[in-house]
Amino acid sequence: MTHYDLVIIGTGSGNTIVNRRFADRKVAIVERGVFGGTCLNVGCIPTKMFVHTADLAATPSISSRYGVDEELVGVRWPAVRDRIFGRIDPIAAGGSEYRHHHADNANVTVYDGTGRFTGTKELTVDGKDGTTSVLTGDQFVLATGSRPIVPSIPGLEDVGYHTSNTIMRLDELPRRLGIIGSGFVAAEFAHVFSSYGVDVTLIARSELLMRHEDTEIAERFTEIAQGKYDVRLEHDTVRATRRDDGSIALEMLSPTGVDELVVDEVLVAVGRTPNSDTMNLDATGVAVDDEGRVVVDEYQQTTVDGIYALGDVTSPHQLKHVANHEARVVKHNVLNPTDRIKSDHRFVPHAVFSAPQIAAVGVTEEEAQERGIPYVVGRQQYADIAYGWAMEDTTGFAKILADPESGQIIGCHIIGPQASSVIQPVIQAMSFGLDAYSMARDQYWIHPAMSELIENALLKLDLKAKS
Ligand SMILES: Cc1cc2nc3c(=O)[nH]c(=O)nc-3n(C[C@H](O)[C@H](O)[C@H](O)COP(=O)(O)OP(=O)(O)OC[C@H]3O[C@@H](n4cnc5c(N)ncnc54)[C@H](O)[C@@H]3O)c2cc1C
Ligand SMILES: NC(=O)c1ccc[n+]([C@@H]2O[C@H](COP(=O)([O-])OP(=O)(O)OC[C@H]3O[C@@H](n4cnc5c(N)ncnc54)[C@H](O)[C@@H]3O)[C@@H](O)[C@H]2O)c1
């Protein structure tokens, strides 16, 4: 049994905690999978590299509108895939090598295996090499992330399916791809694979795609998706069967009866579940909620003193910027137990890197109504600002919700070009309490940049303070 000052389980955002400020502490890092976690290996980074390639592949479909005739000659899938993972895999390997062997990490021991608690502050690691190690620690950080949920559809296991963990490493592009799900992962991969020439079908149980977004945004996204992919709304997949020709038949129940879809590959994208169950938390006093999330307080501490948690294993947001923020809070609190800081989850933004992009922060209009929050709305079409007009955009818009009295922004929802970047000044205004009127009037907005979308949406807010 070896004792440590600090034991970290999981090397996604958990790996960002240890730096030279921990030089005088004995640290153990436990990882059962690939070093670097979801974002680097199977999440944000590779998906956005595929999205960028898809954006390029998609330009011929719209360029002739501008008098530029392009033709997509082909997408060399192995070249696309191998370029992306040829850049990513060495980073994961380098991160592992650094923690294992670099002099900076003389105080750090890496355990390659699965950590499971065998006492309140005792962890047994079942090593990938067959060894078993028992570690105790003064402080622990649970940073074990989440994994894709696989619904129990009869036949699905037998026909085989992909999740976001495997779909990016396909040997070859399928002719037809069925995507079960209608959230982030479904929207991004639909764009990627359809831009590469794959026939994509989105199978949604709900009436709308991206139903967690503000309804106007979800409706617009669904409308656009219906023009690009085969979209089956209100379809519940109930059976999967392998046919003699090797294809996969999906049977779905819809409001009008039984429907069938034949595809070559299936991507399951119905959400992710926290990896709290990988650690045998019953051996500790660490509480887990009904959704399997580790319960933490505002300091990211679990129900056991000195055991902290961060990221997807505890957060309903399941976003990398949230995991990184929480890792910074945990780092501070582990180093300064008598002067701890709180995490800030007031204004957590997100973006969906599909085509078009979606970005949002704060409450939706429906949430404002349900919660009785007073608000005014400012809407702005991309078509009516100079750059959107230059692009001849016809579908994008922003809506900003603000308190009519104080002018404080309470929500912003954008669908359209560069939405993920255009939203950033709104996040800044909300975080620092800048009111909409001052934000619109008391600074320059570069003309004719896309950010004029925000300036104009702000100016359209019917605020009491406006003179
Ligand atoms: C396809 C996809 C695209 C995404 N795109 C974005 C995006 O564009 N922007 C964004 O903000 N977010 C995105 N996300 C979400 C983002 O990847 C996650 O929110 C983030 O990576 C979570 O980080 P984490 O540190 O909590 O967990 P992880 O990075 O998942 O790290 C957890 C680690 O713990 C290890 N582990 C688990 N159990 C044990 C155990 N018992 N013992 C030892 N090790 C264990 C796992 O192997 C893993 O390496 C995306 C996710 C996916 C799936
Ligand atoms: N750009 C980004 O930031 C990004 C990209 C990808 C993933 N992520 C993160 O990863 C998480 C997981 O993504 P996701 O797309 O898997 O989940 P999601 O929660 O975004 O969407 C899942 C959708 O599947 C539906 N669903 C649930 N069960 C179903 C079933 N049996 N059949 C059909 N549909 C079903 C849900 O109603 C939901 O609309 C996201 O919530 C997000 O936090 C973020």
Give the model confidence (pLDDT) of 52-71 as tens digits: 999 999 999 999 999 999 99
37-55 pLDDT per residue, tens: 999 999 999 999 999 999 9
Residue bearing the CA closest to ligand 1, atom 2? 43
Task: Name the DSSP letter for residue 398.
Answer: E
Indicate if ipTM > 0.95. yes
Cα of 50 from ligand 2 centre, angstroms: 18
Ligand 2 atom closest to Cα of residue 353: 1
Residue 237: partners with Cβ closer than 8 Å, 6 or more residues away: 151, 153, 180, 203, 250, 251, 252
Q: Is the CB of 294 under 6 A from ligand 1?
A: no
Ligand 2 atom at shortest distance from the alpha carbon of 187: 15
Cis peptide before 448 (omega within 30 of 0): yes
How high does pLDDT run on average in the chain? 97
Place of tokens 């894709």: 148
SS3 content of the chain, % helix, strand, coil (to 5): 35, 25, 40
SS3 of residue 400 by DSSP: strand
Alpha carbon nearest to ligand 2 atom 42, residue:
318
pLDDT at 466: 61
Report the alpha-carbon distance of residue 293 to residue 296 in Å, rounded: 9
Confidence at residue 369, expressed as pLDDT on a 0 to 100 scale: 98
Q: Which ligand is nearest to the CA of 268?
A: 2
CATH topology of domain 2-146+273-335: FAD/NAD(P)-binding domain (3.50.50)
Nearest CA to ligand 2 atom 27: 270
> Mapping DSSP to helix (H, G, I), strand (E, B) and coil, where does residue 116 land?
strand
Structure tokens at 105: 């990490």
Q: Is the model's pLDDT at 102 over the cut of 60?
A: yes
State in Å: Cα 401 to ligand 1 middle. Answer: 31
Ligand 1 proximity of 114 Cβ (cutoff 6 Å): yes
Phi–psi pair at 158, nearest 5 degrees: -70, -40
Q: Nearest bound ligand to CA 156?
A: 2
- Cβ count within 10 A of residue 387: 17
Kindly give the number of the ligand 1 atom that is closest to the alpha carbon of 185. 1
pLDDT (tens digit per residue) in 163-221: 999 999 999 999 999 999 999 999 999 999 999 999 999 999 999 999 999 999 999 99
* Contact by Cβ (8 Å): 170, 77: yes
Cis omega (within 30 of 0) for bond into 404: no
251 beta partners: 239, 260
- Domains 2-146+273-335 and 156-270 agree in fold: yes
Estimate to the nearest angstrom the gap between the alpha carbon of 407 and the chain centroid: 30
Architecture of domain 156-270: 3-Layer(bba) Sandwich (3.50)
What is the reported pLDDT for 464? 83
Is residue 181 annotated as involved in ligand binding?
yes
Quick one: average pLDDT of 398-403? 98
Q: Domain coordinates of the chain in residue numbers? A: 2-146+273-335, 156-270, 356-459
Local confidence band at 152 (pLDDT 50, 70, 90 cut-offs): very high
Distance 131 CA to ligand 2 centre (A): 36
CA–CA distance, 400 with 461 (Å, rounded to integer): 8
pLDDT at 465 over 90: no
Cα(312)–Cα(320) distance, rounded to whole angstroms?
Answer: 8
Share of the chain above pLDDT 90, in %: 99
CATH superfamily of 356-459: FAD/NAD-linked reductase, C-terminal dimerisation domain (3.30.390.30)
Q: What tokens does 227 get?
A: 């023009």
Closest CA to 42 of 216, 219, 169, 140: 169
Closest to 191 measured CA to CA, from 47, 41, 395: 47
